Homo-oligomer: A and B are copies of this chain.
Amino acid sequence: MTPSTRSRKESGLPQHSWRVRLRENGSSSRRVLVEAISQAILAADPRTILRNKVKVRGNALTVGTLSLKLSDFRRVLVIGGGKTTSGMALETERILDRWLTGGSVNIPAYTNPWPKSSRIEFNPATHPVPSQQGCQGVRNMLKLVGQPSRDDLVICLISGGGSALMPLPAKGLRLSDKQKTTHLLLKSGARIDEINTVRKHLSEIKGGRLAEKLYPATVVSLIVSDVVGDRLDSIASGPTVPDSTTYSDAYNVLKEHKLWDRIPRLVRNHIREGRNGRLPETPKEGSKIFKRVHNFLIGNNTESCKAAARALERRGYRTLILSTRIQGEASEVGKVISAIASSIREKQLPITAPAAIVAGGETTVTVHGKGSGGRNQELALSAAMSIRGLPRTLVSSIGTDGIDGPTMAAGAVADGSTVERALRRGLDPDTYLRENNSHEYFKKLKDLIVTGPTGTNVNDILIAIVGSADQKSDTTRRSLGQ
């Protein structure tokens, strides 16, 4: 199916602008792969998710087990920010229809076409580097909300990138102070949870502070996760989620990484004041702030993995969703996925062909070379070497946002013939891997998977397909086993 052919005119939304493109080579596995990837991305599509998870019937709004009477509220507002928020906001407007009072959301300045709405204001903001534009957008949201009351319902749309797209620093700090501190932490090798501990204590809305500002309104946060493991306090730094860290924790992180004397003076003062109890802490679990706050994880990698698995099962493949939390060096993860595909092929373990392995997560690449590539394409290149010669076996990996590293591809597919085909063209896989040049490799082989930007991001999806054994491979196996 091609999602782009669906008519979406009734909602005033642009049609899906993405389509999964992959060279056909007569193998049915490739056709099925395109279907599975399409379904995985569709399951993460903000509009699809909203439509499936948020319902208005009469005056009742239902999300999961929560049901609210819309007529109880004086105002129904939409705010938020993230890379997928534009689609989420438009669909929320369509679903809430006449109940929606107004909205103000931050979306990437590069969004094209720019969404149109008469009731929701779209504030341009920047990502991954935050800017004053984003700060202004947050001020717009807070201005729209004004003095919240118990008669207000505020719907927060949160997704990946929200941290940079909603960067308003705490009062008394400048954006540049926050940025400099983050930069120092990144360079020092601090872990992402350590960086977040500090950032939450330098922000006006992160770490539950947005919920604090909205109190005593009812808050429904609709969250699409781009964080492996889906920790709600990590996605966009959890603006409506209790924070478990303190100013003292932030201080300890900076001390441990020997940055305390190197951060801007204003930041040092701010954290010192916080530690001394002269600034309020981020709101904690159990605080009354969160009494009427409902956080819903409505889209994540797991949903996309499941959608891909269903598509594969419909085509007769036994499937296994290995994990939705894959992390590690892309080329090494490629070896492990290949080892599993190879075990299916040769040993009928862990399942019997025709079979497919689906996994999700996000790998990393340690850059050694100067080539062009991304983590998904590098994973596929490593897999190509590991499954070399295996019949009817393929390994693919894509970023659900459609953008793998600084390339125009979402990912790539490798099969048992990839290395031979490339060698015939003079492409040595070792060299291309060493140079982190996976994009050039698969481009020359015409084995890129291209989707265009999908408007969503729930990390990466890995799919390995092992077709059914045929007569030929049985013969080979017998002769080896003699």
Contact = CB atoms under 8 A, between A and B. Distances in A.
A431 to B, nearest CB: 12
Given A480-B232, A481-B297, A336 B326 contact: yes
Interface stretch (A88-96, A153-161, A338-346, A435-443): A338-346
A326 B339 contact: yes
A332 B325 contact: no
A343 B328 contact: no
A327 B338 CA distance: 9
Interface string A342-365: 110011011000000000010000
Interface string A382-408: 000010000000000000000000000
A112 interface: no
A63 interface: no
A327 B339 contact: yes
Contact of A350 (B321, B329, B480): B321
A189 B324 CA distance: 35
Given A326-B336, A328-B332, A320 B350 contact: yes
A229 interface: yes
B325 A339 contact: yes
A323 B295 contact: no
Contacts of A295: 482
A187 to B, nearest CB: 16
Contacts of A320: 320, 350
22 contacts: A229-B342, A229-B346, A232-B480, A285-B479, A294-B482, A297-B481, A302-B347, A320-B320, A321-B343, A321-B350, A323-B342, A324-B343, A325-B339, A325-B342, A325-B343, A325-B346, A327-B335, A329-B329, A332-B332, A332-B333, A336-B336, A339-B361
